[in-house]
Structure 1
Amino acid sequence: MIPFDRIPGDQIALMFENQKITYAALQQVALASKSQLDQFTEPIIFIPMTPTPVTVVKVVACLLAQKIFVPLPAKDAAIHARQLKSQFASAVLWSTAIQHFKTPQLKQLWPKETLFIGFTSGTTGDPKGFVRNRASWQASFENFASIPEFAPKPYVTCFTPLHYSLGLYVLLQTLFQGKTFLLNMRDLNDPLWTATILEQSQIFSVPTVFMASLQHLKTPKPTKFEIILSGETITATQRQYFEKRCPKAKLFTFYGASETSFIAYNTQKQPPAQSVGRLFPKVQLQVTADNALLVKSPMNFQGYLKNGQFQPAATWLQTGDVGRYQQGQLYYDGRQDDRINRKGEKIFPKFVETLLLELPQVKDSLVYGLTDAQLGQRVVAAVVWQDDPLSKQALNTFLKQHSYRRYQIDTLLTLDKMTYSTSGKKIKPQAVTKK
C-alpha cells in the first residue's frame, strides 16, 4: 500500500515538532517492528493512535506484516481494548506494555486483504465495527487524486485525531502518494505553518473544527493554501467568513462516510444551498421514493462487525442519508434516523439548521425533535445569536420563503454557545431559555 520502491528514500515522510523522518527511515524502523509483530499469532492488533511517529511506524508495520489493526483513541486505550476484545477470537494491544486477549469467540474469516476495522460508535453501548480492505482504500486514494482540484500537494495534514476515519485516511493517502504528513497539527496557529509550507499544503478537517480554528486566528492568513472539509455542509455565511480570514486560500468540500469513502465533491466558491456537489468518478447513486441515498462504488467498505459476527455489505450500500439529485448536483438533507415526524410531515433537521445559518443574525443552530402529545413530534431550534435575536415567527416566515417543504419551528431556544462532542457533533442542550 505504501510504494517504498517508487518513493525516493530521502523524501520526508513525516514532520513532527522538530523531527523529519524520511521514507527510508520509516521503512527501516517499520521492518524492525514487523519482526516483533511476526511473533504474535493473533491476527488483530489494537493500536492507540497517539499523534506521534511511533504510531505511524506501528501502522506501517501492520501493513508489512499483513496484520489487521484496530485504531483506538489514545486516551484510555487499554479500557477501549478490553471493551472491544469480545468482538474477536484473539487480539493484541500494542502499547507500551503488550497485552494479549483470547475469548470464546469463534475464529473469524475476514475479507481478502483486510486493512483495518474501525468502530463508528466508539466503545460505549453496542459497538459496531466497519471493515476495510486495502483495495477499497487504494481505489479511494486514486479516485480522490483524479479530481484536478484535489491533486496531491507536498505537505498534507488533518486537524481531526488519527483514530477517526478521516485522520487515518489522510495519513495513509499521504504516504501512498509519497508526500509529507504533518503530525499533530491542530489549527492554523501552529508555529510549523511558515508561509512556504502553508502555501504548499492541503489541510483536511471537519467544519466545526476548522471554523473554530478560524475564529482563533489573531490576524487573517494572507497565504495561499487549500482546505478540504468533510462532514456537515458549509453555509454561505461560513464561506464568506473563511474568505475574509483567508482571502487567498481555496475551500473545497466532499461528502461521504466511513463506509462509502467519497460520494460527491464541491469545488464551487458558492455552491447552491445544501448541495454537496458532483459525484466522484465510478460512483453510482440511487435515490429511493422516500429520498434515501444508496451508493455503489469500488470505494465501499466490506461490511460490519457486530457482536463478533462479520456481516458482508450489500452491493448497493444504504448510506442512512436522505437527499435529492438534480441537474448533476447531489443535495444532502440529513440523516434518515434524525427525521422529525410532525403531524405526518417529514422534516429533515439538518436542512432546517443549514437554512437558519444563512441568516446573518444566527451564529449557530441545532434542530431536533421532541415527543409531543398533539403533533407527534415538535420541532425544536436551539440558536446561538450573533447579536439581536429574531422571533420564532420571523424564523418561520424565513423557512416558508426558502424551503421546498412545509417546515416550521414549534419551540425556539436561545443558547449562549453551542456544545460539541470530540468528533465535532453538536450536543443537545439541557437547560436553556425558551422563547
Structure 2
Amino acid sequence: MPNARDLEPLEVPSGTGALEVLPALRRALDGEGPALLPVAADAPDEAQTLITALSGPLGPGEDAEHDPTALVIATSGSTGVPKGVLLPASSLRASAESTHRRLGGPGHWLLAMPAHHVAGIQVLIRALLAGTAPHAVDTSGGFRPDVFAAAARELPSSGRPHYTALVPTQLSRLINDGGEGLAALRGFDAVLLGGAATPPALLARARDSGVRVTTTYGMSETAGGCVYDGVPLDVAEVDVDGELGPIRLAGPMLARGYRNQPDAPAFAGGWFRTGDLGRFADGRLEVLGRADDVIITGGEKVAPLPVERVLTEQPGVREACVLGVPDPEWGQAVVAAVVADPAARPDEDALREAVRGRLGAAAAPKRIALVDELPLRGPGKPDRRALAEQLTC
C-alpha cells in the first residue's frame, strides 16, 4: 500500500457498553480509517501492555490495499506471550457469513461475553453483516442468569432467528440456576458454545433441557469458530496428521499471520497449525487438547481432555481441569482440580477408579483437589498455569 496504515487501540467497554464500538467496527470492516486493536477498557494495565507491544504502523505483509486488515486480536495462546493476530475484513466476513449459513440465516444476536476477544467481537460483526442491532448482557455485576434473561427479552420478536454465544461456565450457571435464565436460553434458535472444552455431561444436560447448543472449535487465528459440532463450516478445511495428530486448518477465514512476525511457521503453506491434537470419529473432528498440555508420567503420555471428560461424567462433578505437576518419582504427576456439586460431593476414590477403568492406570489422577471454581483466562478457558501454581504450593 502507498502509505502504511496505523494500528490503533480500540477500548472496548464490558457488558452493554461494548455496543459503543459498533461504528468504529463498521468502518474497519469497510476498510476505512486505521486497523483496530481491541483492548479491555476496564483492564488498563493489561491494555497498555498490549498497546505498547502491538500498536503503530502496519509493516510489510501485514496489510493489503485490496483487503485491508480490519482487526488485530491480541492473544497469548498457550505461551503467555502477547501476539497480535492480523484479521483482514475478508476473513471476518467469511467466518460470519458461513456461520449464518450453517445456523439458518442472518438473525438477531445477544452479546454475553467480552467483545475484545474474537468470540465476542464476532457476535457484533455477525449482527452488522445481518443488518440487525445487537443487544448485550449487563455484566457489571458478573454474569447472572436473571440479567441474561432480561437482555434476551429485549431482542426483537421478528421472524428472524435469535442467536447467542457462551462459554461453558456461563452455560453451566444458566443450567444450574434452572429459572428464567434457562427459560430464556431455550428461546434461542442456536447457542454457540466455545472458548473451552465443554464437559459432555453439561452438553447433555443442556440439550435435555431443550437448549439448542452448537459446540464450536476455532481461535483468533481462524476469526473464531470454524468447526461446529465437529463438522467444518463450508469455507473451512480440516486436516489431522495421522490417526491422532496435530490439527491444521485452512480457508478464507484464516488470519494473515502474526503482528511483527512476517514468517510465522504456524501459517506456512496456507494452513494454520493449531498446536491441538485431534482425530476424526464417525466423520466428526474430536479435539483432544493442546499438544503441549500432554502429561508424561512414568514414561506414559496422558492427554488431559479425555480425563476431564470422564471426571465430568461422574455424579457430583460440575467442572474439572487436569494437568501435570512436577513429581520426583513420576516426572509429572496427573492431578485434577474438580468443582463439585455442593449438594452431592463426589467420592475421590470413585473418581480415580472411573478414570482408571476407562483410560488406564497412568491417567488416574494421583491427587484430586476440590475447588470452589476454576481460575479462568481469556473468554473462559481454564488457566492451567495459575492452577498449576496453586496445586504445587
TM-score (norm 1): 0.74
CA contact (8 A) 1:89 1:108 kept: no
Structure 1 position 203, deviation (Å) = 1.0
Q: Give the alignment partner of residue 285 of structure 1, picking from 238, 247, 257.
A: 238
Determine if the alignment matches structure 1 residue 419 to structure 2 residue 383.
Answer: no
Shift in alpha-carbon separation, 1:404–1:227, aligned structure 2, 3 A: farther
**1:2-151 map, 5 Å:** 43-50=6-13, 51-64=17-30, 65-77=32-44, 80-81=47-48, 83-90=50-57, 108-112=60-64, 113-121=68-76, 126-147=81-102, 149-151=103-105
Match of 2:308 in 1: 353
| Secondary structure in 2 matching 1:384 | strand
Match of 2:273 in 1: 318
2-structure distance, mates of 1:41, 1:282: 30
2-structure distance, mates of 1:137, 1:363: 34
Could you give the per-residue CA deviations for residues 156-188 of structure 1, whole angstroms, max 9, x where no partner exists? 022111101111111112111212211345454
2-structure distance, mates of 1:79, 1:361: 36
In structure 2, the gaps of 5 or more residues are none
Match of 1:364 in 2: 319
2-structure distance, mates of 1:242, 1:358: 14
Could you give the per-residue CA deviations for residues 249-291 of structure 1, whole angstroms, max 9, x where no partner exists? 311111111112433212xxxxxxxxxx222224322222461
1-structure distance, mates of 2:280, 2:339: 31
Match of 2:205 in 1: 241
1-structure distance, mates of 2:175, 2:333: 34
Structure 1 position 41, deviation (Å) = 8.7
**1:182-193 map, 5 Å:** 182-186=135-139, 188-190=145-147, 191-193=150-152
Could you give the per-residue CA deviations for residues 8-28 of structure 1, whole angstroms, max 9, x where no partner exists? xxxxxxxxxxxxxxxxxxxxx
The amino acid of 1:132's aligned partner reads: L
| Secondary structure in 1 matching 2:221 | coil
**1:154-233 map, 5 Å:** 155-186=108-139, 188-190=145-147, 191-194=150-153, 197=156, 200-216=161-177, 218-219=179-180, 220-221=182-183, 224-225=187-188, 226-233=190-197
Report how many residues are paired: 362
Could you give the per-residue CA deviations for residues 114-137 of structure 1, whole angstroms, max 9, x where no partner exists? 111111029x96421111111122
Structure 1 position 83, deviation (Å) = 4.8
Shift in alpha-carbon separation, 1:175–1:369, aligned structure 2, 3 A: same
1-structure distance, mates of 2:325, 2:86: 34
Structure 1 position 396, deviation (Å) = 3.4
Determine if the alignment matches structure 1 residue 253 to structure 2 residue 205.
Answer: no
Structure 1 position 405, deviation (Å) = 9.3
Structure 1 position 346, deviation (Å) = 1.5
Structure 1 position 198, deviation (Å) = 7.5
Structure 1 position 309, deviation (Å) = 4.0
2-structure distance, mates of 1:279, 1:404: 32
Structure 1 position 78, deviation (Å) = 7.5
Shift in alpha-carbon separation, 1:88–1:232, aligned structure 2, 3 A: closer
The amino acid of 2:39's aligned partner reads: L
Q: How much identity, in percent, do the aligned residues show?
A: 24
The amino acid of 1:390's aligned partner reads: D
Could you give the per-residue CA deviations for residues 168-222 of structure 1, whole angstroms, max 9, x where no partner exists? 1111121112122113454542323328747952111111123224434544517
2-structure distance, mates of 1:67, 1:319: 28
Tell me: higher relative CO, structure 1 or 2? Use CA pairs within 8 A at least 6 residues apart: 2
| Secondary structure in 1 matching 2:253 | coil
Of the structure 1 ranges 371-380 and 290-299, higher mean CA displacement relative to structure 2 is found in: 290-299
1-structure distance, mates of 2:332, 2:279: 24
Could you give the per-residue CA deviations for residues 5-53 of structure 1, whole angstroms, max 9, x where no partner exists? xxxxxxxxxxxxxxxxxxxxxxxxxxxxxxxxxxx99622211012244
**1:382-397 map, 5 Å:** 382-386=337-341, 387-392=344-349, 394-397=350-353
The amino acid of 2:114's aligned partner reads: P
The higher radius of gyration belongs to 1
The amino acid of 2:345's aligned partner reads: D
CA contact (8 A) 1:189 1:217 kept: no
1-structure distance, mates of 2:171, 2:75: 21
The amino acid of 1:353's aligned partner reads: E
